[in-house]
Amino acid sequence: MERKIACLKGIGEKTSDAFAKLGIYTVRDLLSYYPRDYEVFEEPRPAASLSSLEDGTVVAVAGYLKEEPQVRRVKGLAVVTARLEDETGSVEAVWFHALFMRNALVPGKCYVVRGRKKRKGSTRVQQLLQPALCSPEEYERQRGSWLPVYRLGGKLTNKGIQKAVRQALDSYTEVREFYPLEMRRKYELAEYNFAISNIHFPKDRETLLMARKRLVFDEFFFFIAALRALKETEERMENRFPIRPRPEVDALMESLPYALTKAQRKAWGEIRADLGGPVVMRRLVQGDVGSGKTIVAVLALMETCLNGYQGALMVPTEVLARQHLESLEELFASRQIPLKPVLLTGSMTAKEKREAYRMIEEGEADIIVGTHALIQEKVQYQRLALVVTDEQHRFGVRQREALSDKGSHPHILVMSATPIPRTLAIILYGDLDISVIDELPGGRLPIKNCVVDSGYHATAYRFIAREVEAGRQAYIICPMVEESEGLEAENVVDYEKKLRKALPPSIRTACLHGRMKPKEKNEIMERFLAGDIQVLVSTTVVEVGVNVPNATVMMIENAERFGLAQLHQLRGRVGRGNHQSYCIFVSDSKSRDTQKRLKILSQSNDGFYIAGEDLKLRGPGDMFGVRQSGLLEFKIGDIFTDAAILQAASEAVGEICGREGGLAGEEYRGLREQLERYRRYDFGKLNL
């Protein structure tokens, strides 16, 4: 299992490098690189039945080719079209960049085509885009089979990954089952090796669900067990930094131009009590987008530093770090508070970093604001007493531990805007006490929402242009970076070009996506923050990272492709200023489930309500829809879809640890070994 992936036949240096970019280095990594979906070779459908299917559905049709395929040129690219007929009607098969298909198709022969269904414009003609082509005999041999579809990277192909996984399954040494038999029976868990094999190449839906349930349970079980062990260790830690209440903090609260909500005051009271208590604070502040978590963290940092200690604020992006630094400097200067905030990020020059290191080590820096640079070896804190991590899910637990280790067990305050029902939050953040800020500050205008189809584009563009003319800014979110053949979804690269033509030439646009270099992404976000860019076309990289109070419009294309929690996070990028903000969800999906989900979003801006409703809508085994956890993701488990498994895993951990001796018994030997392996290899990789 721990052998290098290069040991597999046909995987040389270049292929190994391509796998490495996906985080796959060993056979074990490969086998835990789970499929994102499956190709299911079902019985071919009658051509006439396609009109009742939603666009984007993958379907097979068997039919006769009556005439020669047609070839036309679109922007210099060849498009091959062939009409196949059966007893009920006809379907058009369309191939892009595949001129060879013209010679591969013989009139009078019967074929099976399998691809994504799309209605042609406003006509009744049904098309299959970029379909696979085979004879009825070939398709019959594949019928009923399930083939994995993986996330790709670099020059890797899906068939290439399939081949490597088959080799790995054929050659790896089976893992000894590590759960006791009675435990597997109680929670209805498949055997481990069966699960690994059938998550990649299931025989049918039932075996796939059995395999997936086992692997999801494993992931949740080990995560919760590791968190429980961490909590038990930390609960015994004495508070070496007792922080006393300071009158300057109360004075700051009273001088703010707004009154803190009851929820903010309650959270601050709990934090203040922890800071001065007998044991080290480990607390999560969970609050919806715009609920005012940051000011509560600032109060904690300020009180810590006025007691003579240092505090650190770790955030996910450099742009947000600079924004926090400027806010702190302005806040302290305007009230003559003698505290020195300092910035530390990866893009700073060597000279700037050396000066920051010196100030931190010598104690000149009171509050250190930064990104992952805060946990580099060169950073030596003089008296670090409080660590605040913003957007907790963006940092691995190991990274949080690394920052803690920079001090002598400092207090930990975690902030998260991901809305999770409290019952699940207690499980997922098992090593932390939880404070909830469930009120929005007074005077904040609620975001106005609407759900529309793509026919609304012209109206939306006119609306965005009016907002820009009024001095505002807008985001437009697309699910893809670049065009993908046969996949009907907007992409940022082409969309931004199209937008330039649709909007007045005076409006400045730009695109942003995860494939850009960090420096380039930071530069674009800085320009958007400064107002130099007025409309930003982006992927979901903007879910966290910067506060732009001037942005008042969020338009999300192909909204059905995102989870509810993620859509809510994206919507939270607007509504941060004094002006009325709007969110436009664009979707052509006619699916009842999609309409239900988007209706929930259009009728409420309450993230906790949305999370609860989403939990009700998701059903067991529903794994082919969009992931609903948004930012908070495991490798295979989903906290909403798999809420019942999460609770069962938590119960199992509690039951074992509650017994005398806990995991020390001989029957748990295999489980102990797996837990240690999990902590060593996976614990730091989780986006939690």
Each residue's pLDDT tens digit, 60-89? 999 999 899 988 887 778 889 999 999 999
pLDDT of 407 reads: 67
Paired strand residues for 551: 473
Angle between helices 669-681 and 205-234 (to 10 degrees): 80
pLDDT of 626 reads: 46
* Percent of the chain with pLDDT strictly greater than 70: 90
**Polymer length of the chain:** 688
Burial of 266 (0-12, 13-18, 19+ CB in 10 A): middle
pLDDT of 651 reads: 92
Amino acid sitting at position 447: I
Each residue's pLDDT tens digit, 260-315? 999 999 999 999 999 999 999 989 898 887 788 999 999 999 999 999 999 999 98
Q: Is the Cα torsion angle 358, 363, 366, 369 positive or negative in sign?
A: positive
- Strand, coil or helix: 595: helix
DSSP secondary structure, 289-340, as one string: TTS-HHHHHHHHHHHHHHTT-EEEEE-S-HHHHHHHHHHHHHHHHHTT----
Amino acid sitting at position 536: L
Catalogue all structural domains in the chain, each as residue range(s) with its CATH number.
5-38+150-208 (no CATH), 42-143 (2.40.50.140), 448-604 (3.40.50.300)
Each residue's pLDDT tens digit, 316-360? 888 889 989 999 999 999 999 999 999 999 888 999 999 999 999
Residue 685 pLDDT more than 50?
Answer: no
62-71, 124-133, 361-370, 613-622 — which one is most confidently predicted on average? 361-370
- pTM of the prediction? 0.74
Amino acid sitting at position 247: P
Q: For residue 469, what are the contacts with CB-CB under 8 A and spacing of at least 6?
A: none
pLDDT of 482 reads: 61
pLDDT of 338 reads: 94
Output the furthest CA–CA distance in the chain (Å, rounded). Answer: 89
The H or E element spanning position 95 is strand 90-96
pLDDT of 53 reads: 86
Give the pLDDT mean for 188-195.
94
Give the pLDDT mean for 356-379.
90
**Of residues 228, 189, 186, 187, the one with CA closest to residue 212:** 189
Q: How confident is the model at residue 233 (pLDDT cuts 50, 70, 90)?
A: low
Task: Name the DSSP letter for residue 440.
Answer: P
User: Dihedral (C-alpha) 268, 270, 275, 278: value to the nearest 10 degrees?
Assistant: 170
Q: How does the average pLDDT of the chain come out, rounded?
A: 85
Give the pLDDT mean for 490-495.
86
CA separation for the pair 125, 46 (Å, rounded) = 14
* H helix runs in 472-574, sequence order: 492-502, 518-530, 564-571
pLDDT of 618 reads: 61
**418 CB neighbour count, 10 Å cutoff:** 25
Give the pLDDT mean for 410-417.
88
Contact 178, 671 (CB under 8 A): yes
Paired strand residues for 270: none
Q: Of residues 197 and 346, which shows the higher confidence score? A: 197
pLDDT of 514 reads: 77
Q: How far are the Cα atoms of 387, 552, 657, 661 from residue 665, in angstroms, in the given order?
A: 37, 59, 11, 7
Residue 631 pLDDT more than 50?
Answer: no
> Which of 350-359, 369-378, 387-396, 421-430 has the weakest average pLDDT?
387-396
Q: Of residues 143 and 660, which shows the higher confidence score? A: 143
pLDDT of 6 reads: 84
Q: How confident is the model at residue 688 (pLDDT cuts 50, 70, 90)?
A: very low
362-376, 627-641, 673-687 — which one is most confidently predicted on average? 362-376
pLDDT of 680 reads: 57
CA separation for the pair 289, 598 (Å, rounded) = 18
* Percent of the chain with pLDDT strictly greater than 90: 43
Kind of pairing between the strands at 110-119 and 58-65:
antiparallel
Amino acid sitting at position 643: A
**Of residues 87, 94, 99, 102, the one with CA closest to residue 121:** 94
Residue 552 pLDDT more than 70?
Answer: yes
